[in-house]
Amino acid sequence: MSNKAAEKRAVSRKDMTKWQWTWKEILKNKTAYFMLAPFFILFLIFTVLPVFLSIILSLTDFNMLQMPGWKGLDNYIRLFLDDEIFMLAVQNTLIFACITGPVSYLLSLLIAWFINELPPKIRAVVTLIFYAPSISGQVYLIWGTLFAADSYGWVNATLMDFGIIDAPIARKPLPSLLREVRGDGKPCITEFQVLERLDGYTKLALRPVTGRTHQLRLHCAHMGFPILGDPQYGSEASQALSEELGYTSQLLCAKSLCFPHPITGEQMVLTSKLDV
């Protein structure tokens, strides 16, 4: 019994320093601290650290390209005494904060009270309607990022890593004879491989899995890397580069053609001797 009393006395609050007691409580509640750790780490990295660095950089001459040079309080002196716009901006910011702050808090309180007084089922519908605009905006942003129709979309970028372009092609309305990538078009797949990356342009090997009109030219243009010299589907940048390099016709030619002979039925393979 005396040993147990001695052990209890050994961990008594009176016999421990403030830091020892704090550390003991942290270990006692380590699960809670572990659950809170991700938030605190992200808060430290993306909020506290940037604010601290911005304060330090405000005392320097930093153009993001060269190492910062120490300026001390010169930036703040110029800001408060020489900048005519800064004080006006501070005044407008304070006025805006004083008006929008209390009004927004009051509206938030009234809307929360109104929703809380509704029956549960109606409350769920009203809450959905209230939050739908903000949720829809975020969903649109995520959806657009994932499924953008050019090479900047994450899904298309992944397919490009595999060397696959999958985009349906349809004919434009008459009298145009050109084609366009359209959701209601015919299925169209192109496989490609990067052969060489040059200054401002890339050499590709293309293999049409399907055989649609203008397939290779349109697929390349659709993915954001139009064929040089293409007058119909080329972008302004590609046409300007073509003129700069002196290309007067599109740089698209067949490496090999394979087809059955129309009379004998023999499989014919024609291979270009050009370095393509």
DSSP-assigned letters across all residues of 236-273: HHHHHHHHHHT--S-----SEEEEE-TTT-PEEEEE--
Cβ neighbours of 190 (radius 10 Å) = 23
For residue 245, give every residue at least 6 positions away whose Cβ sits within 8 Å of its Cβ, in sequence order, or none. 228
Q: What letter does residue 198 receive in the DSSP assignment?
A: -
- Count CA atoms within 13 Å of residue 241 on its CB side: 18
The answer to whether 182 touches 170, Cβ cutoff 8 Å, is: yes
For residue 37, give every residue at least 6 positions away whose Cβ sits within 8 Å of its Cβ, in sequence order, or none. none
Q: What integer pLDDT is reported at residue 4 of this predicted model? A: 52
| Residue closest to 229 by CA, chosen among 248, 210, 246 | 248
| Residue closest to 220 by CA, chosen among 176, 163, 274 | 163
**Torsion-angle region of 246 (φ positive above 0: left; ψ -120 to 50: alpha; else: beta):** left
Where are the domains positioned within the chain? Answer: 117-146, 154-250
CA dihedral sign of residues 165, 171, 177, 178 = negative
Q: What angle do CA 17, 18, 22 make, to 5 degrees?
A: 115
| Biggest distance spanned by C-alpha atoms of the chain | 110
Q: What integer pLDDT is reported at residue 225 of this predicted model? A: 87
How far apart are alpha carbons 245 and 125 in whole angstroms?
61
Q: What CATH fold (topology level) applies to the domain 154-250? A: Pseudouridine synthase (3.30.2350)
Q: What integer pLDDT is reported at residue 210 of this predicted model? A: 92
Q: What share of the chain is helix, strand, coil (3-state, %, to 5)?
A: 55, 15, 35
For residue 219, give every residue at least 6 positions away whose Cβ sits within 8 Å of its Cβ, in sequence order, or none. 165, 167, 169, 181, 188, 190
> What is the chain's pLDDT, residue by residue, as a tens digit (276 residues)?
445 544 445 556 677 788 888 888 888 888 988 998 999 999 999 999 999 999 999 999 888 888 888 988 898 888 888 888 888 898 899 999 888 888 989 988 998 899 889 998 999 998 888 888 877 877 888 888 887 766 677 887 777 767 888 899 999 998 998 999 998 999 999 998 888 888 888 888 898 999 899 999 999 998 888 999 998 998 888 888 888 888 888 888 888 888 899 999 899 998 888 765
The answer to whether 59 touches 46, Cβ cutoff 8 Å, is: no
How far apart are alpha carbons 90 and 82 in whole angstroms?
14
